[in-house]
Chain A
Amino acid sequence: MDRRLAVIALVLLAASATYLLWGIGANWRFVLGLRASKLAGMLVVGASIAVATILFQTVSQNRILTPAIMGFDALYVLLQTALVAGLGVTGFAMLPVGAKFAAEVAVMAVAAMALFGLLLGRGAQDIARMILTGVILGILFRSLAGFLARVMDPNAFAIVQTESFASFSRIDGALLPWAAGAAVLAMLAAFRLCSRLDVIALGRPVAVSLGLRYEAMTFAALALVAVLVSVSTALVGPVTFFGLIVSGLAHSLIASARHALLLPAAALIGGAILVIGQLVFERVLGMQSALSVVVEFTGGLFFLWLLLKGRIR
């Protein structure tokens, strides 16, 4: 095992242990159970966003893009709102959690492949236009979701309102096993594709001449991204810039283009940032929901810095 990976894993382990055990009182059984489920949620979300971002950056051959910047999260929120609109609030609440989530993920994968496959294919020549299109699509999806929510029902609007505001301390316990299962499967699949992803990163001409089925691989990667984004958005809501921070850190710490190293490193870093951040904000500063805002703020500044440095290619 690579030494850098081991160090990151150790940091994550230490942070998780601190998160679980810090200031645990006499009521430790209850506290431990509560914290364990929150911790598991954060690890799943952090790793999902991280792996989704690395996959998306490889497919789009661009280090400043994340699925969220391109409107993936907003698409998921829109699908979910449309589902509430179609079934009604009670119908939505009565569906079994697992089946609902599976259906959402399936629709999301198809929609993402169709929309973003097209966008990535057409946008190869003009990256700035492609990114701008993605950002505007995100605004469009959010507005549509808001519109649907207002038109159907005030209760539904309350549901959608909470869905569209990210919070790491509000993780749905019933959904967690399903989401974790989907995330683990998608990550295993991504890990199996590692060597092919390395080839994709070389660019279309090289990849094709090396005998890779480029289009099929791109679509497979986009489908995995869609699954992972569904997992993270379903659990905590839309998070725009977190993946950017994680992939930036992973690239600079690993300094290698090999996905066999990059993917696990990013997953570990994603989990570690969330756990440490939540530890600091929840326990030290006593602010429950500030982490998502701070992550957005720093990530946004990082994105601006990358743009100004001309790192768009």
Chain B
Amino acid sequence: MRLALILGAALLPLSLASVMIGAASVDWANIASDPQAFLIVTVSRVPRTVAVILTGAALAVAGVVMQQIVRNRFVEPGTVGTAEGAALGLLAVTVLAPGAPIWAKMLVASLGALAATAIFLALIRRLPPREVLLVPLVGLVLAGVLQAGVTFIGWQTDLLQYVGIWLMTGEFSGVIAGRYELLWIAAAAAALAWSAADQFAILGLGREAATGLGLNHEGVMRLGLVVVSVVTAMVVVSVGMVPFVGLVVPNIVARVMGDNLRASLPVVATGGAALVLACDLLARLVRYPYEVPVGTVLGILGSVLFLWLLHRAPARG
């Protein structure tokens, strides 16, 4: 439980710092009498902080669910094509029906994410058994192929800038009140995953063992797919791709706490929130008052941590 305490204790000052730091200066002593400062805090700072926390927590939980579905520690929605699938869906609906309401865009993005994940699962079923590290490799290449599709469509429809700046590198600088609420749906999906934590833990034992223990294997699998797709799609639609959170956080937590998901999922969620929050703060401070996208910061930190996990952990499923 020590890890949970440390992460929980880290989250509070990080959130406070996130509310305090930004390009505009806020006079905290007279916040109540200064409508401008009040507006900045309530419309920009607090929503941004909430958005970051929701994103980090939901993505980390989605990573765990993905790892249980695939039974492989080195996958997450961002490295197997799920995020690219969501981007493809969003791009398709943007091009074909620009006037579609936001819930329609959301739905199509989720369906795209679902389809991409299903393709990935179908692919890895055909892999030679026992090749544990081929699974993430297939995922990365599938993501690359889907990304080529996204780039192509973006190029043909003059949306390349939209694709490159918004979809491919996640950032929170565009978050204001009214433009991040979709992330609550991601958080709800993550909470749903927690309520089924025991089922997911059993799912990770494999089809035979899970069925032997009386689990509805197909049903839980489907639930997991929906959770992963919805979380990914909501994050991509609201802030863009945020890589590696779902991979490094669950792995590090599992190192300390093991695989009792009912106990570890809240810790994973807290850890994800703390990681993304810390990276977002770094991204805001490194070239203050300008910002670097948090996706770029996480790309560096996450790939370093991934390499460390890859070369330190014994290869296992």
Contacts and interface: CB of A to CB of B under 8 A. Distances in A.
Contacts of B136: 132
Given A132-B137, A133-B311, A310-B128, A147 B296 contact: yes
Interface in B132-175: 132-134, 136-138, 140-142, 144-145, 148-149, 151-152, 155-156, 164, 169
Contacts of A184: none
Contacts of B240: none
A151 B286 contact: yes
B126 interface: yes
Contact of B144 (A131, A151, A240, A294): A240
Given A131-B137, A132-B137, A144-B300, A297 B149 contact: yes
B123 A126 contact: no
Contacts of B164: 161
A150 B303 contact: no
A136 interface: yes
Contact of A143 (B148, B156, B287, B300): B300
A140 B300 contact: yes
A297 B131 contact: no
A116 B128 CA distance: 27
Interface in A272-313: 287, 289-290, 293-294, 296-297, 300-301, 303-304, 307-308, 310, 312
Contacts of A139: 243, 299, 303
A128 interface: yes
Contacts of B127: 307-308, 310
B310 interface: yes
B315 interface: yes
A288 to B, nearest CB: 9
Interface in A112-159: 126, 128-129, 131-133, 135-137, 139-140, 142-144, 146-147, 150-151
A309 to B, nearest CB: 9
A121 to B, nearest CB: 14
A133 B144 CA distance: 16
Given A137-B307, A140-B304, A289-B155, A304 B296 contact: no
B138 A304 contact: yes
A289 B160 CA distance: 12
Contact of A128 (B134, B292, B307): B134
A62 B143 CA distance: 23
B200 interface: no
B133 A128 contact: yes
B85 interface: no
B180 interface: no
Nearest to A166: B151
Interface in B104-147: 123, 126-128, 131-134, 136-138, 140-142, 144-145
B152 A150 contact: no
Contacts, number: 105
A135 B296 contact: no
Nearest to A152: B287
A293 B155 contact: yes
Contact of A129 (B141, B142, B296, B310): B310
Given A135-B137, A296-B148, A151 B126 contact: no
B306 A303 contact: no
A65 B243 CA distance: 24
A interface: dominant SS: helix
B187 interface: no
A297 B152 contact: yes
B146 to A, nearest CB: 9
Contacts of B152: 290, 293-294, 297
A146 B133 contact: no
B89 interface: no
Contacts of A294: 152
Contact of A304 (B132, B145, B149, B315): B145
B77 interface: no
A304 B123 contact: yes
A290 B134 CA distance: 30
B74 interface: yes
Contacts of B142: 300, 304
A241 B164 CA distance: 21
A241 B141 CA distance: 10
Contacts of B131: 128, 310, 312
A308 B137 CA distance: 11
Nearest to A135: B140
Q: Which of A129, A136, A300, A301 has the most CB of B within 10 A?
A: A136
Contacts of A301: 145
B297 interface: yes
Contacts of B303: 136-137, 139-140, 143
A136 B307 contact: yes
B56 interface: no
Contacts of A144: 300
B63 interface: no
B148 A293 contact: yes
A139 B137 CA distance: 13
Contacts of A296: 144-145, 148
Contact of B141 (A128, A147, A300): A300
Interface string B65-83: 0000000001000000000
A129 B133 contact: yes
16 contacts: A126-B315, A133-B310, A139-B299, A139-B303, A143-B296, A143-B299, A147-B292, A150-B287, A150-B292, A151-B287, A289-B155, A290-B152, A290-B155, A303-B141, A307-B127, A310-B127
Given A137-B303, A146-B169, 13 more contacts: A128-B131, A128-B133, A132-B136, A132-B140, A137-B307, A140-B300, A151-B292, A293-B148, A293-B151, A296-B148, A297-B145, A301-B145, A307-B138
